Amino acid sequence: MRALVIDRTGGPEELQVREVPDPLRISDEVLVRVVAAGVNPIDAKTRKGNRVSQAIEHWPVVLGGDFAGVVEEVPYADHPLRPGDRVYGMGRVPRTSGSYAELIAVSSLSVAPMPSTLTFAEAAAVPIAAMTAWGAVVETAKVHDGQRMLVHAAAGGVGAFAVQLARYFGARVTATCSAGNRDFVASLGAHRVIDYRSERFEDVAGEQDVVIDLVGNTADDTGTRSLGVLRPRGLVVNVPTGSWPSMAEEAAERGIRATGYSVAPDARVLSVLGRLIDDGAVRVHVDRVLPLEDGAEAHRLIEDGHVRGKLVLRVAPDPD
């Protein structure tokens, strides 16, 4: 099969399109012919050699967690998914080969029917970002009516879904982003949008119950400053791995609850998200779609940190 691979960790230039063996479907796995693959910050971090890359056992490696495509093979004849079904889901790179390829083999518990209202490119932009937002906002923060929630980096992939889910479940949402994304984030349902370049959010946000921190201390000590807007025993949920190593200690000193969050593939959550999308309660924004051969450019863009919504790689033409 044709795939975008790396032979070693390093810069975006390490990504090369080559022919590699097809993945072998085993046990409960389904084999999916990939049409589009989402690009996420974790892909770039793994390519660069972060902690996840230490689990790589064999080279070359196919990166990519998000995918949308068509089922090729299922575990058994009467399986709920059938060959020809349009699905979307999340792989477990580098435990398994990723979605920057024509085929991916993944657990059937990681795959759900694609939302009927989305294109393949749009569907590929959903799984990791939306399930991360769901896990942070719904499962961890226990979002509820009237809750005051601050979402950082609200125009990004996870942030855009976090704003929408928080608003859908009744929270009072304050969001930070750049000035150019203000209208976009407001359109997602944020009650108040703060341009982080012209205003210090801690001066204007007011007291919050929860902060969904998608930045950490990698930029302007955003994580540490977020503690100042939380009520006593408020909660900060930090998502980017390694972005705020001192979070637990700093939060404890101020009487704030703090936790990280790591997404897990879950077909049940994907099914719920699919219904919300098809009902119009949650919408998907794709910044741009690039051909698989432009994977290096996609990684450069994601590392620049100013993508609105999601980047997607086109792996194959849409099926008839």
CA distance 244 to 62: 28
Quickly count: other Cβ atoms within 10 Å of residue 199's Cβ. Answer: 12
Is the Cβ–Cβ distance between 188 and 167 less than 8 Å? Answer: yes
Q: Output the CA angle 164-167-173, nearest 5 degrees.
A: 100
Give the residue among 81, 84, 144, 134 at the shortest CA–CA distance from 111.
Answer: 81
Sheet holding 148-151, edge to edge: 192-195, 172-177, 148-151, 208-213, 230-238, 257-260
Sheet holding 2-6, edge to edge: 16-19, 2-6, 61-62
- Residue 306 has a pLDDT of 83
Per-residue pLDDT reduced to its tens digit, 258-285:
999 999 999 999 999 999 999 999 999 9
Per-residue pLDDT reduced to its tens digit, 78-101:
999 999 999 999 999 999 999 999
| Alpha helices in 10-156, H assignment, sequence order | 41-48, 120-124, 127-134
CATH number belonging to domain 2-126+284-314: 3.90.180.10
pLDDT band for position 320 (50/70/90)? Answer: confident
Mean pLDDT over 24-37 rounds to 97
* Percentage of the chain modeled with pLDDT above 70: 100
- Domain locations in the chain as residue ranges: 2-126+284-314, 129-260
Concatenated DSSP letters for 119-154?
A: -HHHHHTSHHHHHHHHIIIIIIS---TT-EEEESST
- Residue 130 has a pLDDT of 98
Write down the architecture of domain 129-260 according to CATH. Answer: 3-Layer(aba) Sandwich (3.40)
Per-residue pLDDT reduced to its tens digit, 208-241:
999 999 999 999 999 999 999 999 999 999 999 8
Residue 148 forms beta bridges with which residues?
172
Give the residue among 266, 289, 277 at the shortest CA–CA distance from 35.
Answer: 289
* 2-126+284-314 and 129-260 have identical folds: no
**pTM attached to this predicted model:** 0.97
- Residue 62 has a pLDDT of 98
